[in-house]
């Protein structure tokens, strides 16, 4: 267990220092927001798995509303608070140190529920089913999720994504959305720049620095090697997989 904790510390020393906790961009957040119609003025928003809060700040700026952001890592909670304070929007933000598997909000508490690259922690279908209870009838849900972009992805990509068995094609993800009773509002594939500019490019720079700092430290070097392999895999097989933003609405309940 001690060795596992040491490995986790090295992992967080890299990933928690990145601008984003996963693929995304300001432009993608705004584009996804633009797919929603009928959002009330000053909406109440839940950002699940907020990471360092880059998209959280974007949501505060775009919406003019209030955001409840949650993450189970204390460091991410603090970074979200700090980023919001620097942007001058902290007065409309509540940040919770909480595991998304234990959300206890009242049903229909939010006008919009958002989750960039984090819904996989609940599973795509289970996550959307959980979220549906928390968003009000007529409210909106936007999530980004890993998908296959080709019906026959390359073997190395398949092997890497075995860690997330729910990765699937866009059509099959849309079928899940339909089956759960949501109304589709739109979807789009995140561009390559959303993987590189604020994620893999700064990660590569950090890995180069850490490889010198952690020379002779097996646990740290193992984390570096795994991260480098992930970056290289994306460069080679980015035509096989990616992230898609799915935007949907919970239908108004029938009288």
The pLDDT tens digits for 67-91 are: 999 999 999 999 999 999 999 999 9
Q: How confident is the model at residue 152 (pLDDT cuts 50, 70, 90)?
A: very high
The pLDDT tens digits for 238-253 are: 999 999 999 999 999 7
Q: How confident is the model at residue 1 (pLDDT cuts 50, 70, 90)?
A: very low
Quote the pTM value: 0.94
Q: Has residue 221 got a pLDDT over 60?
A: yes
What is the chain's mean pLDDT, rounded?
94
Tell me the C-alpha distance between 168 and 146, whole Å.
Answer: 8
Q: How confident is the model at residue 6 (pLDDT cuts 50, 70, 90)?
A: low
Q: How confident is the model at residue 145 (pLDDT cuts 50, 70, 90)?
A: very high
The predicted pLDDT at position 189 comes to 99
Residue with tokens 């267990």: 1
Contacts of 11 (CB under 8 A, 6+ apart): 223
Q: 115 vs 9, which has greater pLDDT?
A: 115
Mean pLDDT of 147-157: 97
Beta bridge partners of 120: none
Mean pLDDT of 31-41: 97
**Alpha helices (H) in 88-217, listed in sequence order:** 124-134, 155-160, 170-179, 193-195, 201-213
Q: Has residue 2 got a pLDDT over 80?
A: no
Q: 114 vs 218, which has greater pLDDT?
A: 114
CB 113 within 8 A of CB 134: yes
Nearest 10 degrees: Cα torsion 219, 162, 133, 135: 70
The predicted pLDDT at position 253 comes to 76
The H or E element spanning position 6 is: helix 2-15
The pLDDT tens digits for 165-219 are: 999 999 999 999 999 999 999 999 999 999 999 999 999 999 999 999 998 888 9
Residue with tokens 């068995």: 165
Q: Has residue 121 got a pLDDT over 80?
A: yes
Q: Sketch out the chain's domains with CATH numbers.
A: 22-192+241-249 (3.40.50.150)
Mean pLDDT of 226-243: 97
């Amino acid at each position: 267990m001690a060795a596992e904790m040491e490995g986790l510390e090295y992992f967080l020393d890299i990933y928690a220092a990145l601008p984003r906790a996963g693929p995304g961009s300001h432009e993608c957040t705004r584009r996804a927001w633009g797919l929603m119609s009928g959002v009330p003025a000053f909406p109440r928003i839940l950002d699940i798995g907020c990471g360092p809060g880059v998209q959280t700040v974007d949501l505060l700026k775009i919406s003019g509303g209030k955001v409840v952001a949650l993450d189970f890592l204390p460091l991410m909670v603090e970074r979200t608070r700090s980023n919001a304070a620097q942007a001058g929007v902290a007065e409309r933000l509540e940040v919770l140190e909480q595991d998304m598997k234990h959300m206890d909000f009242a049903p229909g508490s939010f006008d919009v529920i958002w989750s960039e690259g984090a819904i996989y922690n609940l599973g795509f279908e289970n996550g959307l089913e959980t979220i549906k209870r928390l968003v009000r009838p007529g409210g909106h849900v936007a999530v980004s999720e890993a998908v296959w972009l080709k019906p026959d992805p390359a073997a190395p990509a398949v092997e890497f994504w075995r860690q997330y068995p729910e990765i699937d094609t866009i059509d099959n993800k849309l079928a899940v959305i339909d089956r759960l009773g949501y109304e589709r509002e739109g979807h789009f594939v995140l561009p390559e720049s959303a993987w590189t500019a604020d994620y893999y490019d700064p990660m590569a720079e950090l890995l180069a620095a850490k490889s010198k700092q952690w020379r002779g430290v097996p646990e740290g070097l193992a984390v570096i090697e795994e991260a480098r392999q992930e970056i290289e895999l994306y460069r080679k097989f980015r035509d096989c997989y990616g992230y898609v933003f799915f935007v949907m609405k919970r239908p108004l309940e029938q009288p």
